[in-house]
């Protein structure tokens, strides 16, 4: 993709710490071609787990199975394949997802409900489950390393780089991994992301933290308004590093999720820029988020920032079309990269838009004190190319 030159600052840095007690297995199971297509992370001990799922009413079979399995709050293994999402594949597809979980559970000698499945890739084709079942034969013997970076690579689809990040919290470590590039829209329908830690955190606390964190990170991300049928965020805490400071843990957990969110936005299909929009001085957080989303999802705004068209009228258009939020056009103030640009500085604004890989727009509504930030990207010819010319 010609436009995609993502500088290192926006990509994953080599992991310098990993949480205790996790082993990984990554391989090519032959789902579609010969590239990595299967990633498994196993916790030595049952980990407390919490998950959030897509709100699309058409849910992938692994999502349907995952919703059931996570109810127990304990997870021993995460099994993720790329190249096929096992969505819209009917009862057969559901049976296939269960079949994979059973095979892994038998290998690990743990209850099947402790296996958490995900699949990502094309919709509507039967998943060759038997190939995955074959690939996990003698799984315990294959769990010799802990390679979260490899796991991140195995679950990629149209991503152009693998996404992982870590933070230390006292004696514990958090590692977050994500994949996603298109069919990304908030309302918990964003991508696949997994956060692993060895901190001791209960399942209910993990769920509460995940829900709160997702609101300002994963759910504030939009690449193309399309809401995937597969998307899932899972957090696992196996407790092997013991208790940690909860405020510090929450801060680090949020940082991990936010950094992954920014990577997902920057790596949006065909994107050349990370686009963040903060809506402030608003009557409510929900209104600020709605306006931010309206801006970040507007094709005319997304195309304007791509090549630096200083067409700020489109920002007003996008604010004004937001459903259900009362605005006062004359009170609205706009800043780009911390500066306000007047009608006679269009060339300067255009230069700002063209020169920066991260663009920050701030919109002040003048109707209150609440604010919200959303994350997105520009719209380019390559988005069309990626999605029009072949089946992804």
Give the one residue of 218, 336, 372, 379 binding its own copies; rule: CB under 8 A: 379
CB nearer to its own copies: pick between 87 and 252: 87
Which one of 194, 196, 275, 383 is in contact with its own copies (CB under 8 A)?
Answer: 383
Query: Which residue, 147 or 185, has its beta carbon nearer to its own copies?
Result: 185
Instruction: Please state the closest distance from residue 4 (CB atom) to its own copies, in A.
Output: 15
User: 19, 150, 182, 186: which one contacts its own copies (CB under 8 A)?
Assistant: 182
- CA 278/CA 338 separation, integer angstroms: 11
List the one residue from 16, 33, 109, 330 that touches its own copies (CB under 8 A): 330
Tell whether residue 317 is a contact of its own copies (CB under 8 A): yes
- HEC string for the chain: CCCCCCCHHHCCCCCCCCCCCEEEEEECCCCCCCCCCEEEEEEEEEEEEEEEECCCCCCCHHHHHHHHHHHHCEEEEEEEECCECCCCCHHHHHHHHHHHHHHHHHHHCCCHHHEEEEECCECCCCCCHHHHHHHCCCHHHHCCECCHHHHHHHCCCCCCCCEEEEEEECCEEEEEEEECCCCCECCCECCEEEEEEEECCCHHHHHHHHHHHHHHCHHHECCCCCCCCCCEEEEEEEEEEECCCHHHHHHHHHHHHHHHHHHHHHCCCCCCCEEEEEEEEECCHHHHHHHHHHHHHCHHHHHHHHHCCCCCHHHHHHHHCCCCCCCCHHHCEEEECCECCCCCCHHHHHHHHHHCCEEEEEEECCCCCEEEEEEEECCCHHHHHHHHCCCC
Told to judge if 157 belongs to the known catalytic residues of this protein, a careful annotator would answer no
- Kindly tell me which residue out of 27, 160, 211, 225 binds its own copies, with binding defined by CB under 8 A: 225
Given the complex with its own copies, which of 19 and 186 has the nearer CB atom?
A: 186
| Nearer to its own copies (CB atom), residue 160 or residue 248 | 160
By beta-carbon proximity to its own copies, the closer residue of 36 and 189 is 189
Q: In this chain, which of 109, 138, 338, 388 binds its own copies, going by CB under 8 A?
A: 388
Rounded Cα–Cα distance for residues 237 and 241 (Å): 10
Catalytic residue among 24, 120, 146, 190: 190
Among 282, 319, 359, 374, the residue binding its own copies under the rule CB under 8 A is 319
Looking at residues 229 to 258 of the shown chain, list those that interact with its own copies (rule: CB under 8 A): 229
Site for its own copies in 49-108 (CB under 8 A): 55-59, 85, 87-88, 90
| 212 near its own copies, judged by CB under 8 A | no
Of positions 151, 306, 336, 372, contacts its own copies by CB under 8 A: 306
Contact predicate 122/85, CB 8 Å = yes
Tokens 């079979």 locate to 61
- Cβ neighbours of residue 161 closer than 8 Å, sequence gap 6 or more: 6, 11, 12, 263, 267
297 contacts its own copies (rule: CB under 8 A): yes
Minimum distance of its own copies from residue 189's CB (angstroms): 7
Q: Which of 189, 257, 271, 274 binds its own copies (CB under 8 A)?
A: 189
| CA–CA separation, 26 and 82 (whole Å) | 11
Q: Comparing C-alpha atoms, which of 315, 290, 288, 319 is closest to residue 301?
A: 315
Rounded to a whole number of angstroms, the minimum distance from the CB of residue 324 to its own copies is 11
- Please say which residue, 269 or 362, places its beta carbon nearer to its own copies: 269
Token digits for 286? 């929900």
Q: Does 391 bind its own copies (CB under 8 A)?
A: yes
CB of residue 372 vs its own copies: minimum separation in angstroms? Answer: 19
- Pick from 227, 234, 252, 274 the residue near its own copies by CB under 8 A: 227
349 binds its own copies (CB under 8 A): no
User: Which among 102-110, 145-153, 207-215, 322-330 is the span making contact with its own copies, rule CB under 8 A?
Assistant: 322-330
Catalytically active residues are: 190
> Using CB under 8 A as the criterion, which residues of the chain lie in contact with its own copies when the complex forms?
55-59, 85, 87-88, 90, 122-125, 182-183, 185, 189, 224-229, 297-300, 303-304, 306-307, 309-314, 316-322, 326-327, 329-330, 343, 379-381, 383-392
């Amino acid at each position: 993709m010609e436009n995609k030159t993502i500088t290192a600052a926006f990509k994953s840095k080599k992991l310098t710490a990993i949480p205790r007690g996790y082993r990984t297995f990554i391989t090519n199971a032959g789902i579609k071609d010969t590239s990595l297509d299967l990633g498994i992370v196993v916790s030595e001990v049952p980990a407390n787990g919490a998950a959030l799922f897509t709100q699309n009413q058409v849910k992938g079979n692994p999502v349907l199975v995952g919703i059931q399995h996570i109810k127990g709050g304990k997870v021993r293994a995460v099994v993720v394949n790329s190249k096929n999402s096992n969505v819209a594949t009917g009862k057969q597809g559901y049976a296939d997802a269960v079949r994979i979980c059973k095979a892994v559970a038998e290998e690990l000698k743990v209850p099947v409900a402790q296996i958490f499945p995900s699949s990502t890739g094309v919709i509507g084709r039967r998943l060759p489950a038997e190939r995955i079942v074959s690939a996990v034969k003698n799984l315990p013997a294959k769990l010799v390393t802990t390679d979260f970076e490899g796991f991140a690579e195995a679950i990629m689809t149209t991503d152009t780089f693998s996404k992982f990040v870590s933070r230390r919290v006292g004696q514990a470590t958090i590692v977050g991994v994500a994949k996603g590039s298109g069919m990304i829209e908030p309302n918990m329908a964003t991508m696949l992301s997994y956060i692993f830690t060895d901190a001791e955190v209960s399942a209910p606390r993990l769920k509460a933290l995940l829900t709160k964190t997702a609101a300002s990170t994963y759910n504030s991300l939009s690449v193309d308004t399309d809401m995937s049928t597969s998307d899932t965020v899972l957090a696992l805490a196996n407790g092997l590093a013991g208790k940690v400071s909860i405020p510090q843990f929450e801060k680090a957990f949020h940082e991990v999720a936010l950094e992954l969110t920014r990577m997902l936005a920057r790596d949006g299909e065909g994107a050349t820029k990370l686009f963040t929009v903060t809506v402030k001085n608003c009557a409510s957080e929900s209104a600020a988020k709605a306006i931010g989303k309206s801006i970040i999802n507007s094709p005319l705004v997304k195309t304007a920032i791509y090549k630096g068209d200083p067409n700020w009228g489109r920002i007003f258009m996008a604010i004004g079309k937001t459903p259900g939020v009362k605005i006062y056009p004359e009170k609205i103030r706009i800043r780009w990269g911390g500066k306000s640009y007047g009608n006679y500085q269009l060339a300067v604004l255009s230069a700002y838009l063209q020169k920066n890989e991260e663009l920050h727009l701030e919109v002040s509504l003048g109707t209150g004190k609440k604010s919200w930030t959303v994350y997105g990207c520009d719209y380019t010819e390559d988005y069309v190319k990626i999605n029009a010319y072949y089946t992804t």
